[in-house]
DNA sequence: AATGAATGAGCGTTCATTCAT
DNA sequence: GATGAATGAACGCTCATTCAT
């Protein structure tokens, strides 16, 4: 009854191309939105800013997203997926790399994922909260899952004797995440355009050093 | 200091009373604003909400503040002063309380000051960033001064042998503040109305424990 | 606590004047709206048309009415009140004017009330239906009350032997109202600017003549 | 008559099929439009609603109609043709059915034609006016021709002594049409799903009864 | 002939700000 | 000083219409 049934292969190709066009148009809007949000801030950006930045008409914007918020939600989801995928379990099997190295690599991967999406991550850390229930929910979910992962890692470490006794695991996990987050936030706030890789290495090492060994000297 | 001083003596008394009235009116608006901001969120609040909550006319609002932002700036300043005053130097003179206790008390004071201004602190942590250059500047200033204080404390500790060698002081200080901030944020996000004092004690202890001794077991 | 309590009589006068101003502003908008609606038709009129015709700013319009519909509702209510008040019961007490005269006067009053609000009545007859549930409800209410009044009059007439036997009172009442309405509608549609009073007299007489005596000759 | 006739013979068959397809497509849109208009009301219906209801693409709609109004105009024309065809002259030749019966049948046919197109007739009576000059013109034309027919019938009746003397024929004709119209309107407004045929019979009889014999008792 | 993505004028509405009273 | 009516820029959003495919 539809065109596909009457036509032949070319029709299929046509709709596939149409689909691809749609994807490109969406991606274009999303990319423009990152630019706009990170330049002017989420709250200062209007839908006019978005469609102009994307080089499309006002009405076209609404063919792809129903609101500024929907755009943000999608961007956020993309980022959260990337960040989440940076976090993998610690391999404790014999022959696996040393735990310290694995942890370094995980922290490093998170920092790198964030850095590669710096504009978006900045918005996420600075403006995402309180925008919208859905945004809040997903963000809380993300932090919760991150927190749960750290808690699990600490408990495993405790079981294997790696983590010391008497640690308040819940709060310790929060400290780790809060440290990571704030270190990144400050680094970017002051960013002097230095060697970013060196910075990431330094951050990762320092965060792990502090949280692993603490600040006090041993007698 | 103001125009009122240029009048003659009778005016002085009158202007002093006027000054006091002005202060009361401002305070009234500020108090109403905290209420409104914490109920509806900063971005969702309009000047209409503010003047209505304060029980004054729309135009009257503008006689005391030039914008919603100016109100927020003032509230923020009040809070930052309180938070800053919670932080005092460590007394290392002989006979002073143990350093660990002093640090606990400082952390505790910060948490208490924040808790006593929970509504405002929440807005500060969640919505304040990106509003306005002035807000951003003062907030950055606050974090910078806090950071500088911790750095100084760590360097002093290092000098007296209390803090271990090889710590990246800059980043360590950031971790301490980030931990504190995020612990508070999560605690409030999940707040189950439990015993707040116990919570503050637990938080303060745990944060200090983690940052002081680290997470790893000693051989 | 409010200004009225601190001030004296002038305050009262001030608020009374303010009240009067408000009333004048509303009336101004309503009058402009009648003009606009009757010129361009309800559906073709936008809020822009209304505020421009009233000579006020767009935002000012919203201080008095929440929508185009609200304006229309108010206009319609005014008109319906006038039309309703044209309809009074028949006085059957001894010494009262002849029933025929009373009926003539009632029909005449309705036609006059409609004529004096011709623009509005036209909109009411032509465009009011289906705009809005509230409008529909009130209009139906009006026709229902008019219908009920005619039914009652017919039943009374029946009881006193004035109205003949075997009349389907419900439908007869509908015919009377429908006749009146359509006569008016056509008269205005063709209005050639002739003597309006003569027209009203002719209409009233003819409607009553047809409905009273019917069209057929008696044997 | 159209471009298709300029092709060669094979084209003729092709164009005839094409013509038929076109007709079917138009009919499909018209049918869907009746549905949409009667469900949501004319003013609330958008071209989007129409093309979606017709199961065609947005652009396709414009290949058949240039606007929502054009669709309505066509629907209205169909209806007016049906209504007009319900009205036939009174056969006064010897041996013809009694005039009263003929009139009953005419009124009955009108009511039936309207009932069979209830959705459309409702829109015609309630929303058609003021949409568009063309619509208004044709509607006025229809009422004019109906009116002229009644006037003619009355004048014939007058000539044959059937209609009484002294009737204001113009207004009387308007009363008849207005009665018919308003009786239908109210019947549908209150329609309780009763026996529609009985209703039509009752309406036709009552309208004729009132207009023929009037409401007053004879001495 | 059919499609549906793109368009942008225009809508209703909000709200920070001004200013006469 | 307090008021709140007036303002109009700017917003989010809709939708009739066009046009490349």
**Over the stretch A138-147, which tens digit does the pLDDT of each residue have?**
999 999 999 9
**A:B CB pairs within 8 Å:** 158
Mean local confidence (pLDDT), C2-15: 51
pLDDT of D117:
94
Q: Does B182 touch chain A (CB under 8 A)?
A: yes
- Say yes or no: A148 contacts chain B, CB-CB below 8 A: no
Listed residues B65, B99, B120: the one ending a domain? B65
Is A138 in the B-facing interface, judged by CB distances under 8 Å?
A: no
- Looking at B65, B94, B119, the residue that finishes a domain is B65
Q: Are B135 and B69 a contacting pair, CB within 8 Å?
A: yes
Compute, in degrees rounded to 10, the torsion defined by CA atoms B114, B119, B121, B122: 120
Q: Are residues B88 and B4 in the same domain?
A: no
Secondary structure of chain B in the HEC alphabet?
A: CCHHHHCCHHHHHHHHHHHHHHHHHHHHHHHHHHHHHHHHCCCCCCHHHHHHHHCCCHHHHHHHCCCHHHHHHHHHHHHHHHHHHHCCCCCCCCCCCCHHHHHHHHHHHHHHHHHHCHHHHHHHHHCCCCCCHHHHHHHHHHHHHHHHHHHHHHHHHHHCCCECCCCCHHHHHHHHHHHHHHHHHHHHHCCCCCCHHHHHHHHHHHHHHHHHHCCECCC
Give me the pLDDT at residue A18, please.
Answer: 80
**Cβ–Cβ contacts within 10 Å for residue C83, how many?**
18
Residue C100 has pLDDT above 60, yes or no: yes
Contact D131 C218 (CB under 8 A): no
What radius of gyration, in Å, describes the C-alpha atoms of chain D?
22
Q: Which among B43, B181, B211 has the least Cβ separation from residue A215? A: B211
Give residue C2's pLDDT.
Answer: 44
Mean pLDDT of A92-106: 92
Q: What is the pLDDT along chain D (219 residues), one digit of tens a residue?
A: 444 445 455 556 667 888 888 999 999 999 999 999 999 989 999 999 999 999 999 999 999 999 999 999 999 999 999 999 999 988 888 899 998 999 999 999 999 999 999 999 999 998 888 788 888 899 999 999 999 999 999 999 999 999 999 999 999 999 999 999 999 999 998 877 777 777 999 999 999 999 999 988 876
Q: Note the pLDDT tens digit of each residue in A31-89.
A: 999 999 999 999 999 999 999 999 999 999 999 999 999 999 999 999 999 999 999 98
Residues 39-98 of A with CB under 8 A from B: 41-44
> Residue D132's pLDDT is what?
82
Q: What is the pLDDT of residues C15-25, one digit of tens each?
A: 777 888 889 99
As a rounded value in angstroms, the CA-to-C1' distance for B61 and E18 is 13
- The residues of chain B scoring below 70 in pLDDT are 1-12, 14, 219
Confidence (pLDDT) at B10: 58
Question: What DSSP designation does D5 have?
Answer: G
CB C157 within 8 A of CB C89: no
Separation between the CA of B19 and the C1’ of F3 (whole angstroms): 20
Domain at C47, CATH number? 1.10.10.60
DSSP sequence for D136-185: HHHHHHHHHHHHHHHHHHHHHHHHTT-BPTT--HHHHHHHHHHHHHHHHH
CB D142 within 8 Å of CB C203:
no
Give yes or no for C137 touching D (CB within 8 A): no
* Contact between B180 and B87 (Cβ < 8 Å): no
Confidence (pLDDT) at A4: 42
> Domain of B153?
68-219
Shared domain check, D2 and D96? no
> Is A193 in the same domain as A208?
yes
Closest-CA distance, A200 to chain B, in angstroms, reads: 12
For residue C3, the model assigns a pLDDT of: 43
Total number of domains constituting chain B: 2
Final residue belonging to a domain, choices B65, B92, B121: B65
HSE of B174 in the Cβ direction (CA atoms, 13 Å)? 24
Q: Which of D126, D160, D175, D188 best tests the C interface by mutation, with the highest count of C CBs <10 A?
A: D175
Strand E–CB D21 distance below 7 A: yes
Residues C1, C96 share a domain: no
CATH number at residue A122: 1.10.357.10
C211 in Cβ contact with C179 (< 8 Å)? yes
In this structure, are D89 and D45 located in the same domain?
Answer: no
Report the greatest alpha carbon distance in chain A: 85
Instruction: Calculate what percentage of chain C has a pLDDT beyond 90.
Output: 70
Residue D1 pLDDT: 47
Q: Which residues of A touch B205 (CB under 8 A)?
A: 168
Test A43 with B41 for CB contact under 8 angstroms: no
User: Is residue D44 located within the same domain as residue D76?
Assistant: no
Does residue C8 register a pLDDT over 90? no
Interface of D with C in 149-178 (CB under 8 A): 154, 157, 161-168, 171-172, 174-175, 177-178
* CB atoms inside a 10 Å sphere around CB C175: 27
Scanning every residue of chain C, which has its alpha carbon at the shortest distance from the alpha carbon of D200? C171
A108 and A207, same domain (yes or no): yes
* pLDDT at residue A208 greater than cutoff 90: yes
What local confidence, expressed as pLDDT, does residue C127 receive? Answer: 83
In whole angstroms, give the CA distance from residue A134 to residue C136: 39
Residues C77 and C47 in one domain: no
Q: Chain C residues with CB inside 8 Å of D178's CB?
A: 175, 178-183, 185
B51 touches strand E (CB under 7 A): no
C216: closest CA among D216, D147, D154? D154
pTM for this structure?
0.87
Of the pLDDT bands very low, low, confident and very high (cuts 50, 70, 90), residue C149 is very high
Q: CB of residue A182 closer than 7 A to nucleic acid strand F? A: no
pLDDT of residue A172: 97
Question: D195 or A105: whose pLDDT is higher?
Answer: A105
Whether residue C24 sits in one domain with residue C37:
yes
D139 touching C, CB under 8 A?
Answer: no
pLDDT at D218: 73
Burial A41-52 (b: 16+ CB within 10 A, else e): bbeebeeebbbe
Strand F close to D90 by CB, under 7 A: no
Q: What's the pLDDT band for A9 if we cut at 50, 70, 90?
A: very low
Q: Is the pLDDT of residue A153 over 60?
A: yes
Give the pair of three-digit tokens for residue A156.
Answer: 């495993």
Tell me what the mean pLDDT of segment C68-94 comes to: 93
A158 and A50 within one domain: no
A196-204 mean pLDDT: 89
Q: Which of A127, A180, A214 sits opposite B214 (nearest CB)?
A: A214
If one compares B50 and C91, the residue with the highest pLDDT of the two is B50
- Per residue in C29-67, pLDDT tens? 999 999 999 999 999 999 999 999 999 999 999 999 999
Q: Same structural domain for residues C85 and C32?
A: no
Annotate C34-67 with three-state secondary structure. Answer: HHHHHHHCCCCCCHHHHHHHHCCCHHHHHHHCCC
Return the pLDDT at C74: 95
Q: Are residues B95 and B53 in the same domain?
A: no
* pLDDT of amino acid C198: 77
Specify whether the CB–CB gap between A200 and A112 falls below 8 A: yes
């Amino acid at each position: 009854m539809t065109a596909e049934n009457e036509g032949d292969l070319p029709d299929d190709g046509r709709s596939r191309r149409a689909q691809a066009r749609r994807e490109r148009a969406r991606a274009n809007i999303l990319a423009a939105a990152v630019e706009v949000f990170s330049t002017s801030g989420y709250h200062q950006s209007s839908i006019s800013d978005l469609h102009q930045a994307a080089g499309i008409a006002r009405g076209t914007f609404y063919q792809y997203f129903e609101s500024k918020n929907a755009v943000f939600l999608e961007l956020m989801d993309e980022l959260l997926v990337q960040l989440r995928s940076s976090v993998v379990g610690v391999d404790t099997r014999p022959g696996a790399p040393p735990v310290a190295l694995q942890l370094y690599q995980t922290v490093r991967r998170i920092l790198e994922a964030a850095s590669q999406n710096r504009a978006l991550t900045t918005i996420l850390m600075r403006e995402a909260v309180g925008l919208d229930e859905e945004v809040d929910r997903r963000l809380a979910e993300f932090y919760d899952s991150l927190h749960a992962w750290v808690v699990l890692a600490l408990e495993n470490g405790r079981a294997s004797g790696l983590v010391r006794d008497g640690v308040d695991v819940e709060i310790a996990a929060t400290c780790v995440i809060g440290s990571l987050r704030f270190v990144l936030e400050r680094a970017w706030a002051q960013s002097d355009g230095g060697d970013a890789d060196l910075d990431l290495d330094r951050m990762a090492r320092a965060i792990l050093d502090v949280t692993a060994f603490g600040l006090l000297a041993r007698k």
